[in-house]
Amino acid sequence: MTRTALIIDCDPGVDDAIALFLAFASPDDLELIAITTVAGNVGAPLTARNARIIRQIAGREDVPVYVGAQVPLVRAPIIASHFHGDSGLGDLAVFAPVAPDAAGHAVTAIIKAVMTRPPGAVSIAVTGPMTNLALALRLEPAIAHRLGTVVVMGGARTEGGNITASAEYNIYADPHAAQVVFASGCKVVTLGLDATHQVRATPKRVAAVRAIDTPAARATYDLLKFSEGVQRRFAGALAPPMHDPCTIAWLLAPDLFTTRPVDLRVEVAADLTMGHTAVEFRLADPAAASVHWVTQVNAGAVFDLMLERLAR
């Protein structure tokens, strides 16, 4: 497998943090160009700090963390600390990371990476609101056709939403940004709730994480235990879904996922259904679709991949 040059644009976030651990533990597959952070699950200063905490636990201070957008494009910020804790990292013991943020803005870093490398060479995984990528597309529209794959966690089709009846959180938090990205012509692979709800940290899988004695696995275990509590409170004890790690798993092992070409539009006008993703499978020319929607995941194999990487 060739090594994918990757930017991870995130809002850690308990499951973003697990996604970062998975990526940090995969240097043979992923050349991590940068982590870029955005306001989302918690405010922008905390998501950047959290990315640096996870980077330090993983021992990957070689990867720069750039701070990005402080607020969504149009809407007021919608914080999700009820799902992620006040710190954004659940019960994990947070600390002041040693290495600082990188100089410069996340949006500029994205544009520079994409424009200075060959077309198709840089992919991006987006695990938070898409504000940074939308701003980058507005500042430099040429990145749309120079990006490799944009792998996003966001949206819902057959599943209802998880923040409102209609909308999934990442899209709801910045629907205007999501619409810019989906309409840009970028090659997008979308992991909505239909996909990520298939990949759950069952008690057996959480126990398997506990049995691994690495700093990343120990931190992941703490994050998963926190998420189990959240699920008990909000979802009647269903095992926590591994939303954001699915983006990295797709990059590492796309064969574990089934996708369909779609037309995807985002509701940005109606209050009641704000952030809803209208996902159309019936296309006149499926081969021309720039957006693909994940319908099926081999969840057991995705979790085994996570376990194998956390043990490294």
- Residues classed as catalytic: 243
User: Rounded CA gap, 243 and 230, in Å?
Assistant: 14
* Smallest gap from residue 115 Cβ to Ca ion (A): 26
* 162 counts as binding Ca ion under rule CB under 5 A: no
Examine residue 127 and tell whether it contacts Ca ion (CB under 5 A). Answer: yes
CB of 277 to ligand BDR, least distance (A): 12
Using CB under 5 A as the binding rule, whether residue 9 contacts Ca ion is answered as: no
Position of minimal CB gap to ligand BDR:
169
Give the range of 10-18, 104-112, 245-253, 261-269 binding Ca ion by CB under 5 A.
10-18
Q: How far is the CB of 173 from ligand BDR (least distance, A)?
A: 8
Residue 38 CB, nearest approach to ligand BDR (Å): 11
**What residues are paired with 264 via a beta bridge?**
279
- Please identify, using beta-carbon distances, which residue of 188 and 289 lies nearer to Ca ion: 188
> Minimum distance between the CB of residue 244 and ligand BDR, rounded to whole angstroms?
5
Q: Which is nearer to ligand BDR, 125 or 289 (CB)?
A: 125
174 in contact with Ca ion (CB under 5 A): no
E strand spans, the chain: 4-10, 30-37, 65-67, 122-126, 147-153, 187-191, 257-266, 277-280, 291-297
CA–CA–CA angle 200, 203, 204 (5° rounding): 95
| Calpha distance 171→298 (Å, rounded) | 24
**Residue 16 within binding range of Ca ion, rule CB under 5 A:** yes
3-class secondary-structure state, position 76: coil
Partner in contact with 184, chosen from Ca ion, ligand BDR, none, beta carbon below 5 to 8 Å by kind = none
- Asked whether 113 and 121 are in contact (CB, 8 A), the reply is no
> Collapsing DSSP states into helix, strand and coil, what is residue 66?
strand
Task: Please say which residue, 15 or 222, places its beta carbon nearer to ligand BDR.
Answer: 15
Q: Does 245 interact with Ca ion (rule: CB under 5 A)? A: no
Q: Report helix angle 44-58 to 14-24, nearest 10.
A: 40
Which positions lie near ligand BDR, rule CB under 6 A?
A: 13, 15-16, 41, 80, 83, 127-128, 153, 162, 168-170, 243-244
Q: In whole angstroms, what is the distance from residue 108 CA to residue 132 CA?
A: 9
Residue number with CB closer to ligand BDR (71 or 99): 71
**Angstrom distances, CA of residue 89 to CA of 93, 162, 202, 219, 278:** 8, 19, 20, 10, 31
For 240-254, give one letter per residue: b (16+ CB within 10 A) or e.
Answer: bbbbbbbbbbbbbbe
Complex with Ca ion: residue 72 or 128, whichever CB lies closer: 128
From 42-50, 127-135, 199-207, 223-231, give the range in contact with Ca ion by CB under 5 A.
127-135
Q: How far is the CB of 20 from ligand BDR (least distance, A)?
A: 11
How is the beta sheet containing 257-266 ordered, strand by strand?
A: 65-67, 30-37, 4-10, 122-126, 147-153, 187-191, 291-297, 257-266, 277-280
129 scored as a contact of Ca ion (CB under 5 A): no
Residue 64 to residue 75: CA distance in whole angstroms: 28
Q: CA-to-CA distance for 41 and 14, rounded, in angstroms?
A: 9
- Any contact of residue 88 with Ca ion (CB under 5 A)? no
Q: Does 128 bind Ca ion (CB under 5 A)?
A: yes
- Residue 168 interacts, among Ca ion, ligand BDR, none and using kind-specific CB cut-offs from 5 to 8 Å, with ligand BDR
Judged by the rule CB under 5 A, the positions of this chain that interact with Ca ion are 11, 13, 16, 127-128, 244
